[in-house]
């Protein structure tokens, strides 16, 4: 079984658990609506979208909300990985009309938390995410859950998150510390702004105890979407 990556339980006093509590509280202050749909995205790969999406979903489930974590990153599906389960079928097949959503939701991956994973798709992803089918699916899911958290692809790879922001209440923008150039950040912000996204705020992720980023440093990326796209797809195989 894969490793679980949830940094959270009610008595956890660790710094990450505390930061996630702050994130939950801040979003509740910013948007007081009881029922919400939230997009989690970032500018480039690996900044921690799936990690933050899963842990934010978990933090709300812990306080009694009925939550669905929806893997909308059909290009590199990972939402399942935080729960130590294998991702397989899900949103992709539902949008292609092959399967019924009720049969693919993984119930209670944690208390109060359901997951709709997805399989990897390479083609027509943006089209599927902006289809009528996606809109009606989301409407149906929003009736059943207090909170829907959408894990998405990075904006430099695709505009999926901007498209989804139109059917959400707000966006959590994840920024891996020292991972992005200013140009990449501005690019991502521009895409979200032109879609009219309601950006709740930015989560600065991957800061170690000494205050420095970990993982990898910014070695100077080019704002060259096609290259990112190719690498993004390749890495999933």
- Of 20 and 105, which CB lies nearer to ligand ATP in the complex structure? 20
Is there binding between residue 159 and ligand ATP (CB under 6 A)? Answer: no
Nearest Cα to Cα of residue 45 among 155, 172, 193, 203: 155
Instruction: Output the six-digit token pair for 134.
Output: 């996606």
Residues sharing a CB contact under 8 Å with residue 228, sequence separation 6 or more, in sequence order: 44, 45, 154, 156, 157
Contact string (CB under 6 A) for ligand ATP, positions 164-193, x = contact: ------------------------------
Which parts of 88-127 interact with ligand ATP (CB under 6 A)?
Answer: none
Token pair 């705020």 in the structure block, residue? 201
**Which does residue 205 touch among Mg ion, ligand ATP, none (CB within 5 to 8 A, set by kind)?**
ligand ATP
Which parts of 31-70 interact with Mg ion (CB under 5 A)?
Answer: 49-50
Which parts of 17-56 interact with ligand ATP (CB under 6 A)?
Answer: 42, 45-51
Smallest gap from Cβ 100 to ligand ATP, in A, equals: 27
Smallest gap from Cβ 102 to Mg ion, in A, equals: 25
Is there binding between residue 206 and Mg ion (CB under 5 A)? Answer: no
CA–chain centroid gap for 202, Å, is: 13
Element (H, E) at 38: strand 36-42
Q: What three-state secondary structure class fits 83?
A: strand
Out of 24, 65, 78, 80, point to the residue binding Mg ion (CB under 5 A).
78
Residues sharing a CB contact under 8 Å with residue 203, sequence separation 6 or more, in sequence order: 23, 48, 52, 172, 173, 174, 175
Instruction: Kindly list the residues in this chain that would bind ligand ATP in the complex (CB under 6 A).
Output: 5, 16, 42, 45-51, 73, 76, 78, 154, 205-206
Instruction: Kindly list the residues in this chain that would bind Mg ion in the complex (CB under 5 A).
Output: 49-50, 78
């Amino acid at each position: 079984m894969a490793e679980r990556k949830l940094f959270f339980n009610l008595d956890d006093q660790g710094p990450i658990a505390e930061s996630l509590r702050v994130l939950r509280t801040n979003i509740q202050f910013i948007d007081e609506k009881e029922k919400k749909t939230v997009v989690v995205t970032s500018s480039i790969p690996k900044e921690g979208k799936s990690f933050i999406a899963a842990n934010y979903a978990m933090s709300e489930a812990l306080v009694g909300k009925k939550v669905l974590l929806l893997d909308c990153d059909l290009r590199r599906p990972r939402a399942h990985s935080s729960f130590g389960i294998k991702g397989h079928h899900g949103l992709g097949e539902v949008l292609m009309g092959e399967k019924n959503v009720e049969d693919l939701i993984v119930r209670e991956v944690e208390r109060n938390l359901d997951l709709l994973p997805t399989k990897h798709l390479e083609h027509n992803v943006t089209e599927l995410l902006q289809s009528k089918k996606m809109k009606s699916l989301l409407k149906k899911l929003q009736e059943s859950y207090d909170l829907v958290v959408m894990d998405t692809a990075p904006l430099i790879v695709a505009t999926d998150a901007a498209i989804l922001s139109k059917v959400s209440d707000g966006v959590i923008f994840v920024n891996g510390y020292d991972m992005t150039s200013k140009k990449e950040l501005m690019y991502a912000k521009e895409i979200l702004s032109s879609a009219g996204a309601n950006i709740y705020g930015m989560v600065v992720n991957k800061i170690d105890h000494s205050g420095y980023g970990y993982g990898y440093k910014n070695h100077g990326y080019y704002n060259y979407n096609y290259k990112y796209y190719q690498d993004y797809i390749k890495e999933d195989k």
